[in-house]
């Protein structure tokens, strides 16, 4: 039976824990297939060298677990790395190579960045200032939401954290407009702040997905990936995407009210409640500005982006200098780091055992006749990655299982690994289903948009992004020395 418990002045009904929770069908099938398919691959009479066949068997367990969410992504990856080691497929340094990869620690620095911006209130203050600057009509506030989402990507490299920050602003605006769930204002604000949070961190090396992609492109593609080059390469796309997302949201969800009742008073009151700039906010701002300045100028000094990120994040924990404590760091969720590390480890083992060569032939042969010029290559890569992402919902899983194969394909066919990897990573931003990203799941959980809204907005923006890419890759990228 359900029980009731009083929490403060509220009586809350707690769920009945006497019966075990029902296991979702995808998890159940994932756990079955995660045993059956690896065993079939392990013992099948395939014309493959033993290390290759065994590496593919263990990799299939990891990939199936990620696709079906049979186990937590990080734990599934750790089990796979352990099996690589325990079954003699790879040595310990090879099986856990991702834990010594700078990409994993880049994510650690990014997590500290997000914690700084959230704890000090810097992110919320900046969002409110942007909203005040653009105006108080619904159209301008919607534009302010999109611009704030993009600017926060530099400071808060977690899409989920950005959604949480911007959602608090959006909820206040919805209340100020006097509307609620089901309104076009609510749907427009939430679908756009959620969706753009999944796109912008592909145009900047900020979120876990682009950080993972960067590491794999450098590791397998054997090319240098500059933070500044990535930002410059996608800058026109960023500006066009801001406008396109804003325009689409206005057309798909025309507002019930055109202006915010009381004008900018709501935003001003929120800023007033926050008070003047605090010392922690100023410290966080200075540390972040210093890191961004070093990232933007990395073509001059060539200090690796992970080194800058980790250094700035650790500086935030120093007494007097920083704003984070040891308790704050202990409160970090380290499972995303483990997930990235195990994804990189799996890729390393597949490369070392030459199992990646088998996957390259199986996955890329059909693409060869279609990759004939820069236009067809851009479209084929973009839409192939888009479809692949539908089957492998998680971005990091999608990128970590495909980029190593793609890098081998690029090198064997005389293509630029950096350009190919950047197009593929960018395509991971295109989504039409809620399950394809934890960021979208969080935004969806607020209840202001449904799966139909996600399909409409996602498909429209995915088409727009592919058209932008057709202009970007053949015309703009050669001008900056890319491609």
What are the pLDDT digits (tens) for 409-430?
888 878 889 999 999 999 988 8
Residue with token string 């199986």: 362
Q: What are phi and psi of 304, to 5 degrees?
A: -55, 140
pLDDT band at 10 (very low <50, low <70, confident <90, very high): very low
pLDDT value for 6? 42
Mean per-residue pLDDT, 283-312: 84
The residues pairing with 14 across neighbouring beta strands, listed in sequence order, are: 3
pLDDT band at 232 (very low <50, low <70, confident <90, very high): very high
Whole-angstrom distance, CA of residue 444 vs CA of residue 115: 23
Least confident of 15-24, 321-330, 383-392: 15-24
pLDDT band at 460 (very low <50, low <70, confident <90, very high): very high
Q: How many CB atoms within 10 Å of residue 89?
A: 24
Which of these, 192, 96, 84, 179, lies nearest to 145 by C-alpha position? Answer: 192
Q: How many CB atoms within 10 Å of residue 414?
A: 6
Residue with token string 């930002």: 231
pLDDT value for 235? 93
Residue with token string 């059956």: 36
Alpha-carbon 260 to chain mean position? 32
Higher pLDDT, 118 or 3: 118
pLDDT value for 162? 81
Whole-angstrom distance, CA of residue 70 vs CA of residue 323: 38
pLDDT band at 196 (very low <50, low <70, confident <90, very high): very high
Q: Any idea where the domains of the chain sit in the sequence? A: 102-330
Q: What end-to-end distance do the CA atoms of the chain give, in Å?
A: 63
CB burial readout 151-165, b (16+ within 10 A) else e: bbbbbbbbbbbbbbb
pLDDT value for 187? 93
Higher pLDDT, 364 or 200: 200
pLDDT in tens, 285-295: 898 888 888 88
418 burial level (CB within 10 Å; 0-12, 13-18, 19+): buried
Provide the 3-class DSSP secondary structure of residue 10: strand
pLDDT value for 212? 87
**Full-model pTM:** 0.70
Q: What is the number of alpha carbons within 13 Å of residue 361 lying toward its C-beta?
A: 4
Provide the 3-class DSSP secondary structure of residue 221: helix
> Average per-residue pLDDT in the chain?
84
Alpha-carbon 11 to chain mean position? 38
pLDDT band at 363 (very low <50, low <70, confident <90, very high): low
pLDDT at 478 over 80: yes
pLDDT band at 247 (very low <50, low <70, confident <90, very high): very high
Residue with token string 């013992």: 43
Q: How far is CA 233 from CA 4, 203, 239, 471, 474, in A?
A: 56, 8, 12, 12, 12
Higher pLDDT, 478 or 437: 478
pLDDT value for 35? 95
pLDDT at 17 over 70: no
Higher pLDDT, 266 or 342: 342
Higher pLDDT, 338 or 23: 338
């Amino acid at each position: 039976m359900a029980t009731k418990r009083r929490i403060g002045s509220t009586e809350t009904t707690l769920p009945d824990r006497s019966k075990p929770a029902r296991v979702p069908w995808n998890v159940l099938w994932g756990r079955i297939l995660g045993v059956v398919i690896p065993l079939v691959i392990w013992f099948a009479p395939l014309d493959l060298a033993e290390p290759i066949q065994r590496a593919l068997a263990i990799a299939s367990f990891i990939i199936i677990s990620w696709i079906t969410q049979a186990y937590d992504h990080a734990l599934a990856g750790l089990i796979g790395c352990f099996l690589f080691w325990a079954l003699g497929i790879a040595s310990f340094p090879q099986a856990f190579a991702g834990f010594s990869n700078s990409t994993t620690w880049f994510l650690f620095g990014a997590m500290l960045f997000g914690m700084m911006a959230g704890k000090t209130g810097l992110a919320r203050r900046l969002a409110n200032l942007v909203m005040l600057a653009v105006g108080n009509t619904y159209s301008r506030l919607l534009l302010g939401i999109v611009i704030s989402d993009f600017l926060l990507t530099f400071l808060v490299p977690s899409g989920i954290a950005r959604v949480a920050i911007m959602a608090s602003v959006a909820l206040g605006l919805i209340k100020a407009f006097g509307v609620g769930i089901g309104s076009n204002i609510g749907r427009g604000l939430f679908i756009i702040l959620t969706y753009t949070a999944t796109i912008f961190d592909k145009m900047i090396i900020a979120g876990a997905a682009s950080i993972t992609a960067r590491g794999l492109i450098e590791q397998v593609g054997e090319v240098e990936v500059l933070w500044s080059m990535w930002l410059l390469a996608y800058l026109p796309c960023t500006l066009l995407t801001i406008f396109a997302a804003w325009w689409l949201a206005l057309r798909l969800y025309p507002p019930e009210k055109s202006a915010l009742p009381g004008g900018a008073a709501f935003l001003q009151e929120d800023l007033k409640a926050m008070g003047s700039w605090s010392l922690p906010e100023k410290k966080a701002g200075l540390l972040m500005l210093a890191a961004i300045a070093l990232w933007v100028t990395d073509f001059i000094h060539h200090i690796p982006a992970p080194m800058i990120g980790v250094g700035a994040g650790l500086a935030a924990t120093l007494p007097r200098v920083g704003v984070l404590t040891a308790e704050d760091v202990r409160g970090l969720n380290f499972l995303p780091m483990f997930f990235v590390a195990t994804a990189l480890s799996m890729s390393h083992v597949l490369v070392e055992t030459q199992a990646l060569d088998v996957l390259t032939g199986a996955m890329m042969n059909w693409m060869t006749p279609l990759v004939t010029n820069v236009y067809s290559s851009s479209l084929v890569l973009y839409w192939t990655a888009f479809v692949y992402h539908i089957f492998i919902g998680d971005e990091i899983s999608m990128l970590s299982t495909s980029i190593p194969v793609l890098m081998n394909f690029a090198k064997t066919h005389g293509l630029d690994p950096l350009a190919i990897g950047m197009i593929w990573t960018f395509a991971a931003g295109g989504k039409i289903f809620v399950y394809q990203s934890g960021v979208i799941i969080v935004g969806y959980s607020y209840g202001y948009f449904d799966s139909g809204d996600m399909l409409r907005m996602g498909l429209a923006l995915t088409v727009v992004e592919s058209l932008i890419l057709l202009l970007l890759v053949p015309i703009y990228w050669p001008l900056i020395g890319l491609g």
